[in-house]
Chain A
């Protein structure tokens, strides 16, 4: 089966007065329909810019140079016209971000924002129709009293509530691919845990593919079927989640896994923040 998202040899460089800085060194990544894939790395690894390239955001930037292919449903996002790229966002590809409250506009009610989102798929939708649809969507994310919530503003609600609203908006137009950038990081653990559970249920209902971007291996373990480990713009290890967690091969992946404190204790390990071992060639696990 052809993958929904197929990234081949993606490279990205930024131009500044200091010169050309290469940020991505040939990324290969694919996601099939309905699959949940995680891209794991620390800050500066390139995981966030990869997401932005999939969304078609960075290709237009003046000082960014991207090469390689980002095939979404067969078409290369890198080669598309700006208009077509913009057309994908909010319809076939949507994204949720780290901080739910600041992702929502404080000047408009939730109702208005839902209307804007739903109109992208159905331009002639009336306010009444989108209100009804939004109520149903908020029901799906287990928000009590959706009518009141729709009339409210983001600053009147808790982080957890806003996170659910954001998920509902992201899934409103039944996207084929959902990008999630560190979801729940800004929330309390208990709320984050509930949110992830919710996301899992919703995406499997609709067969939505997910690209989860995270540095939190615990979250990745609970959520993703497959994962790619990215270090300084290169994929260093990829494979099914269970295989990698049970038997990490690459030096960087091993370091990441042993650096995380366990609730069972065991103390803090000695970790090298940076060594040449981390630049060893990519390791691919098992049958995909």
Chain B
């Protein structure tokens, strides 16, 4: 029994131009404590899959299970709490009219975690866990940098004490140095709190350094699923090779890797 499993998941959108098969018969599983990268270009269906996992979009068919039990479309509070989310855009993720503390506290209040009077100290702990000053909780998001905001988003998600974290391009909107710090933080938190990550990104270099396994998607279908090591040294499909080859790289070693893969194209 896997920790988290998707079976034959499909989603079809009805538009005025006809049906759009955004996700087609996708199945994969995730083990507890691992980081599974979900990779694909635009139109690959990765965001749609994320929305279905989070329970905000109903699948057309297929099942999502956690720890052996199938998750119904109308999720229970416990199920909701167990799966949390960090989104891409740090600027829009925090309500400009609420303090940082109020935003982080939302999950605690929704799930009635602890006594109300204890919740502020839980908020402060969540903030310090992500490397932020506890006194930030009374500030508005407007003075914060992108990196700080993203840390707040992470704190908000982790305050709920989830088991599975879905991260949708969590560092794509961040500067180079900031991205490095936040990725470090995410790695450390995963190990410390025994979390499981579904890490959605288009950045293969990030994938190589954070993920245990990689799922490659194209046009709504799962094209390849393998360990990170295998994907990068011996990709099974042409598409994966093309994706790796398109990455703008820095080192000589990386160029050699690309050349090796291209030779087999």
Contact = CB atoms under 8 A, between A and B. Distances in A.
Contacts of A257: 250
Given A264-B208, A265-B232, A268-B209, A259 B180 contact: yes
30 contacts: A42-B175, A42-B176, A42-B178, A188-B41, A189-B41, A189-B248, A217-B176, A217-B250, A218-B205, A218-B247, A219-B248, A255-B177, A256-B176, A256-B177, A260-B180, A261-B203, A262-B250, A262-B254, A263-B232, A264-B208, A264-B253, A264-B257, A265-B208, A268-B183, A268-B209, A270-B184, A271-B181, A271-B184, A272-B177, A273-B181
Contacts of B206: 261
A192 interface: yes
A286 interface: no
Contact of A262 (B180, B245, B251): B251
Interface residues of B, number: 37
A135 to B, nearest CB: 28
A122 interface: no
Contact of B202 (A188, A219, A265, A267): A188
A269 B205 CA distance: 13
Contacts of A216: 248
A262 B250 CA distance: 8
Contacts of B257: 263-264
Nearest to A278: B177
B8 interface: no
B148 to A, nearest CB: 10
B179 interface: yes
B146 interface: yes
B184 A43 contact: no
A222 interface: yes
A263 B208 contact: yes
Contact of B205 (A159, A262, A270): A262
B55 interface: no
B33 interface: no
Contact of A43 (B41, B175, B183, B250): B175
Does more than half of chain A's interface fall in helix, strand or loop, or is it mixed? loop
Given A264-B208, A266-B209, A193 B146 contact: no
Interface string B142-182: 00001100000000000000000000000000011111110
Interface string B185-208: 001000000000000001111101
B249 A263 contact: yes
A260 B181 CA distance: 11
Interface string B228-243: 0000100000000011
Contact of A263 (B147, B183, B187, B254): B254
